[in-house]
Structure 1
């Protein structure tokens, strides 16, 4: 079974390489894949990654406090969730608690890396997807117990190797930030339920019977959801004529312009408007041409 390991940064990369070596020792049918180039430099082979994603059955995202906002990590998480079931996409937390997880990654069921209970459950979940290729529960339990002490030692070493710029404690999330994220998740769920009620996800919400205010609300929810799935939080939406302006949080304009070009074009097509995406300083990240109805 193909298993995709996503990472960004030194600690996350070491964890991905450790999982790549360790997982097949416990469950022989697993074939992990991890890129060997530094994700933060933006020089990964997109064609190679796309090929691996297309054949992936399970995805593990190695998450640390310093990389959970990484556009690449969130992009790959979104790509994985579109390729396979969400239950088969697992953030693997290093030096973090589940409550520390924010943004798009928080929609997935995470595994705490130094929790023996959590990692055991992850292995049994992976094994259950293998069907006849999986190992027996007794054999898996014995193999896990033998290998866990060494794996746990490595986890603790990686957790302790915090980069100089990171703090000893993860910054506590504000109440307003938590409430905002809950609202976004609720809106996403409402959108999914509406799709199910219409009988097909292929029918765009704008074609359903609704008032102008309902339509605008759905359009805004769609924009927020699409950009959040690609690792970017929407801060402001400005509607005017045949255009819509979107302000997002962005740390790297060059990288974001590459990652968001396709999604923003889809947003423009869905809205029937031209779209301009900017960062908080007003710098244009992506601009689409006149919309084609």
Structure 2
């Protein structure tokens, strides 16, 4: 599995190179990470070679910091990866929160670099994608051995100019726009969701133009997802691709993917261990009520006017 690691800035380069080394170790050679500072052969033309790697990657990681998140090169590589909807793209946040940046990478699932458990979960997900047969316990042991070096790789560059973070007004305006879009989407989809689920059942969960799975496997996949997630994650479709691998499409929020993704990949792969599995997610936005309630967590101080949502 090819893993493209995007970075910009000297401090961020050190983290990218440490991730490259850690992925090689933790995935036991089943993943081939690419970092431009180390993996462009001598004599190659840099940009065309990077474009070729972007086009053929199976998994993307973007290293983001307060200093580089608005850099053109980060947004070029990140946008190229984010536009490939079938491939996962994880953002690793060094000294940022998810609310601090915007653009094509923001909807993607983020990982906090300083959070050991969060990083372990990311490596479990990468390893499961590279080698579904790899036990989670083995991944955890290998990650724990690589963690000290990986953690020590991040030292912010004091001379790097920091890009301004988004203001509260920017985030509030985006929240209003998102709420309106969600309401419109819910109105459009409510009438058709029942018909779509019934059509999905009639097709035995198979992909259009692809061979369907035996009922016992398709039902096992559906029951496992419901059992683990209590209905929070939806099975979009499951079927066999031309290569004979099993492809599973899931739908849920970013939190659902972070919470259930590695567990589902591990459990589902055990249903048919001799076959290669591929997983992809359709990320759903939170419910409108949850978004609106989140704006009330920090009420204005006395004497201040509440912002109008319009």
Q: 1:45 to 1:140 in 2, by over 3 A?
A: same
Q: 1:32 to 1:186 in 2, by over 3 A?
A: farther
RMSD: 3.2
The counterpart of 2:169, out of the listed 173, 176, 192, is 176
1:96 lines up with 2:89 in the alignment: no
TM-score normalised by the chain length of structure 1: 0.55
Q: 1:103 to 1:144 in 2, by over 3 A?
A: same
Q: CA deviation at 1:85?
A: 3.1
Q: 1:121 to 1:147 in 2, by over 3 A?
A: same
Q: Which has the higher helix share?
A: 1
Residue ranges of structure 2 left out of the alignment (5+ in a row): 39-44, 197-310
Residues of 2 paired with 1:183 and 1:75: CA distance? 27
Is contact 2:67-2:160 (8 Å) kept? no
Q: CA deviation at 1:17?
A: 1.4
Residue 104 of structure 2 aligns to a residue whose secondary structure is helix
Q: CA deviation at 1:151?
A: 1.8
* Correspondence list, 1:1-293, <5 A: 1-28=1-28, 29-36=30-37, 45-85=46-86, 88-132=88-132, 134-155=133-154, 158-159=155-156, 161-166=157-162, 173-183=166-176, 185=178
TM-score normalised by the chain length of structure 2: 0.52
Residues of 1 paired with 2:177 and 2:32: CA distance? 35
Is contact 1:6-1:60 (8 Å) kept? yes
Is contact 1:103-1:181 (8 Å) kept? no
Q: CA deviation at 1:2?
A: 0.0
Residue 106 of structure 1 aligns to a residue whose secondary structure is coil
Residue 83 of structure 1 aligns to a residue whose secondary structure is coil
Q: 1:31 to 1:188 in 2, by over 3 A?
A: farther
